[in-house]
Structure 1
């Protein structure tokens, strides 16, 4: 599962935001189910940043967000993300794609 968080940050705040975003990534990386992640800044628009992470599954990501360390070290930064859907399923040949809708938990 992929998570893509984009951020609009004034250039003057770029260096301090870079540190905060790295801290957020490190907190997420310490959580079970984390597979990898990268930070990036748009090459054409230096105010646009991205944190892209990969997870074993959506449950791992959601549990990570509720961990104490992530709440302490990452949530304030993550809350600055552009408001848009951020979780993506990986699409590989012959994979069954998610079907949107209500789900049974039974």
Structure 2
């Protein structure tokens, strides 16, 4: 609000909806990020369901289970929302 920072405690879905409508940033405590990480034990998840074509995913999508939370956190710290729209920051992608 006019450059002022306002702290709000909310559900994730509400925070995302509010941030999208107001072009606000979302911050999360490190312990929340670490606690929310999902680790699969045993069988790999069926990632084929994530592919719109019904075919098993390829490339980066097929390796999502191999990414550790620390690496993902470093990625999030180094990327801006604008880079998702332009494709910047992708390995081997556009610059």
The question of a shared fold, defined as TM-score above 0.5 by the shorter chain, is answered with no
More strand as a share of residues = 1
Name the structure, 1 or 2, with higher relative contact order (CA <8 Å, separation 6+). Answer: 1
TM bucket (normalised to shorter chain) is under 0.3
TM-score, reference length from structure 2 = 0.23
More helix as a share of residues = 2
Give the structure with higher Rg (CA). Answer: 2
TM-score, reference length from structure 1 = 0.21
